A and B are shown apart, each in its own frame.
Chain A
Amino acid sequence: MTRKISFKTAINEALDLEMTRDPSVIMLGEDIVGGCGAPGEADAWGGVLGVTKGLYAKHGNRLLDTPLSESAYIGAAIGAAACGMRPVAELMFIDFVGVCFDQIFNQAAKFRYMFGGKARTPVVIRTMVGAGFRAAAQHSQMLTPLFTQLPGLKVICPSNAYDAKGLLIQAIRDDDPVIFCEHKNLYSAECDVPAESYTIPFGEANVVREGKDVTIVSYGLTVHRALDAATTLAQKDRIEADVIDLRTLSPIDWDTVLESVEKTGRLVVVDEANPRCSIATDVAAYVAQHAFGALKAAPQMVTAPHTPVPFSPSLEDLYIPTADAVVAAVGKTIARAKAA
């Protein structure tokens, strides 16, 4: 049965269903129980934003509150995965990855390769990404491109509750390390989600709107900005946009992107990450190389500026790509085509 639930509830439900289905699924993280051993633990907080609330009451000591040491518990999760468990580790904010990066990129990402395909590392690292939460430069970054750089990691960043649940269940069942990025400003966004377990395969983008004039590619929160822009473009200028939600960044669904650009001839990529060596540059470069003949104008990129995330709320609001910026970028692809 299907009902409307939030992104946050969808994540909680996916974890609950997989912990119920598979006893090898365990969780580690800072405050995911909410103060182990404290009175009232059944009703404990459940993570900094309450995503894991209630899971300790159901699954007990299969949830482990860890010391504030990402180096230790991310490493422990990866080691447990190599030894046959399916750990889901919560790296509270992706910004904290620096102190455990060796464990992720030099260990987890390499095991399958270094052991001749014999080692499996079915670990999921859930982590909050993105700006707009008034949490300043060290708790707000969109660091997805750091991980797509690395072969051996799967990188996921859903834009809605339905995808979040299906992709997280897929991530837990996957035999490779998965970096699962949750945009904290999407946590309260609701949509129709089945109560049952279901999976969404990695490497399949979602075409969230169909149009013939321009292709807008995005992922995570900015998918919604792209959709707002598409609505404005259709109403004001009768420009119909194809909007593609990548959903999974590694592996990435090049076929869907190319198919769309071959239809529209125009590409705008919207990425909340900083502009250099980002998902935006990756998609723009790939399309330029593989569909150059189809392009009627230079690909446009709408990204955050090359600065840290500002603490000033008014500056932070300008930092994340806006729908207006997407509309303007689409305008550039059309204007150039007209001029040519």
Chain B
Amino acid sequence: MNPNIVPIVMPKWGLSMSEGKLTGWLKPVGAGVVVGDEIIEVETDKIVNVVESSAAGTLRRIIGENGKVYPVKALIGVIAPDDVPEAEIDAFVADYATPASEDKSSDEAAPRYEFVDTAFGRLRYAKRGEGDNVILLIHGFGGDLDNWLFNIEALSAAGTVYALDLPGHGQSDKVVSEPSLNWLASAVVAFMDAVGVQAAHLVGHSMGGAISMRAALDQPARVKSLTLIGSAGLGSEINGDYIEGFVGAASRRELKPLLEQLFDDPALVNRQLVDDVLKYKRIDGVEEALRAVAGGLFRDGRQTSVLAGELKASGAPVLIVWGESDRIIPAAHASTLGAAAKTEVLPGAGHMVQMEKAGRVNELVLDHVSD
């Protein structure tokens, strides 16, 4: 098989995805592509997003049809350099077999998500990859581990990736007994203890960034590096109307415009995404937990803890990533640490930059956490 022939396949975004709908070709057949070019648009039951090219060459075959649903890893198209003969490409397409979905065989035996008991309640998490280099993904306020839908698989190239649901969030217990960064950071360390992780690279989004910073300051030996994505804790501004609105929103009508503020492209917020957040918000105890956390960390539209100064002094290796059009925490906070951090502000992305520019964010994080 010619190694220069690269298949474009239906991606696997998140643990529960088994198929996706091809909703658009963003390049015509015969177009030259480079790594990172947006090739196709895919809609899952969770979200719409683009698939970026993983190779450079020419788009030689368009196989997937617009509007059709394909299983994960099904062949959608082919990229190869111009000098690869047509016959070889045809043979590649003819021989391509869609690998069986790993979930199907292990559906009964291995749960897609796991749970672990800690002093901070029962916490849900997902684990991907293997090896001693551990990366721990920590979502933001009101989020859950599915916020790392487009990252968890890709980052497992660097080692073992864990993503957890913080207390009060996702499917973890809905108890936040002390709404402070210290308490939440202690929960993260307790999680590491419970799953037997001595030290990890912490990747935190939004509030999860501030929690990561607190953990790194409190327990420097447990934190190998920090990646702060659209992070809290670097300045005092925050969109208080969003926080207040998110906590209070009780219907799809109220919630959708709020969730749209999280993205540069509001069209990414589909019905299922809104429904999933609504289902979480309707669980007993969630509103109280969110209200408590918002009161503790984001009182009166200001962040109560700014850790930038302390962090600068600590000398921990830090990568900062921001979406240029972030409407929740201003992108200006990205430069707070100055030369003490590696900083990247990505255009065409909002607060959920790890979803909207997943390919680039994954690249940056992989580079940062590779030992």
Contacts and interface: CB of A to CB of B under 8 A. Distances in A.
Interface in A219-256: 255
Contacts of B171: 1-2, 194
Interface string A195-231: 0111111001001001000000000000000000000
Contacts of A200: 282
B283 interface: yes
Contacts of B284: 196-199
B195 interface: no
26 contacts: A1-B115, A1-B122, A1-B124, A1-B171, A2-B171, A166-B282, A194-B171, A194-B279, A194-B283, A196-B174, A196-B283, A196-B284, A196-B285, A197-B283, A197-B284, A198-B279, A198-B284, A200-B282, A201-B250, A201-B251, A204-B251, A204-B252, A207-B252, A207-B271, A210-B271, A255-B253
A313 B157 CA distance: 58
Contacts of A201: 250-251
A207 B282 CA distance: 17
A199 B251 CA distance: 12
B277 to A, nearest CB: 13
B282 A198 contact: yes
Interface string A288-313: 00000000000000000000000000
B107 to A, nearest CB: 11
Contacts, number: 31
Nearest to A192: B279
Interface in B107-137: 115, 122, 124
A282 to B, nearest CB: 22
A203 B209 CA distance: 38
Contacts of A255: 253
B271 to A, nearest CB: 6
Interface string B243-258: 0000000111100000
Nearest to B111: A3
A196 B122 CA distance: 13
Contacts of B283: 194, 196-198
Nearest to A166: B282
Contacts of A1: 115, 122, 124, 171
Contacts of B271: 207, 210
Contacts of B174: 196
B251 to A, nearest CB: 6
B147 to A, nearest CB: 17
List the 4 closest pairs (A to B, CB-CB), nearest first.
A197-B284, A198-B283, A198-B282, A196-B283
Interface string B86-120: 00000000000000000000000000000100000
A163 to B, nearest CB: 11
Nearest to A169: B284
Given A197-B283, A207-B271, 5 more contacts: A1-B122, A196-B284, A196-B285, A197-B284, A201-B250
A258 B198 CA distance: 56
A101 B283 CA distance: 35
Contacts of B279: 162, 194, 198
Interface string A161-195: 01000100000000000000000000000000010
Given A1-B115, A194-B171, A207-B271, A199 B282 contact: yes
Interface in B13-59: none
Interface string B267-289: 00001000000010011110000
Contacts of A199: 282, 284
A200 B278 CA distance: 10
Nearest to B67: A238
B106 to A, nearest CB: 16
Contacts of B251: 201, 204
Nearest to B272: A210
B361 to A, nearest CB: 27
A206 B114 CA distance: 30
A271 B271 CA distance: 25
B182 to A, nearest CB: 26
A1 B115 CA distance: 9
Nearest to A1: B171
Interface string B58-100: 0000000000000000000000000000000000000000000
A207 B122 CA distance: 33
Contacts of B122: 1
Nearest to A201: B250
Interface in A1-45: 1-2
A196 B282 CA distance: 10
B133 to A, nearest CB: 29
A170 B187 CA distance: 32
Contacts of A207: 252, 271
A198 B251 CA distance: 14
Contacts of B124: 1
Nearest to A238: B67
Nearest to A170: B282
A110 B171 CA distance: 41
B304 to A, nearest CB: 29
B321 to A, nearest CB: 30
A225 B283 CA distance: 29
Most buried by B among A1, A197, A200, A255: A1
Interface string A124-162: 000000000000000000000000000000000000001
Contacts of A2: 171
Nearest to B284: A197
Interface in B222-261: 250-253
B317 to A, nearest CB: 35
Nearest to B172: A1
Nearest to A193: B279
Contacts of A166: 282
A237 to B, nearest CB: 13
A210 B285 CA distance: 31
A201 B124 CA distance: 27
A197 B285 CA distance: 9
B216 to A, nearest CB: 30
Nearest to A234: B67
B190 to A, nearest CB: 19
A299 B151 CA distance: 47
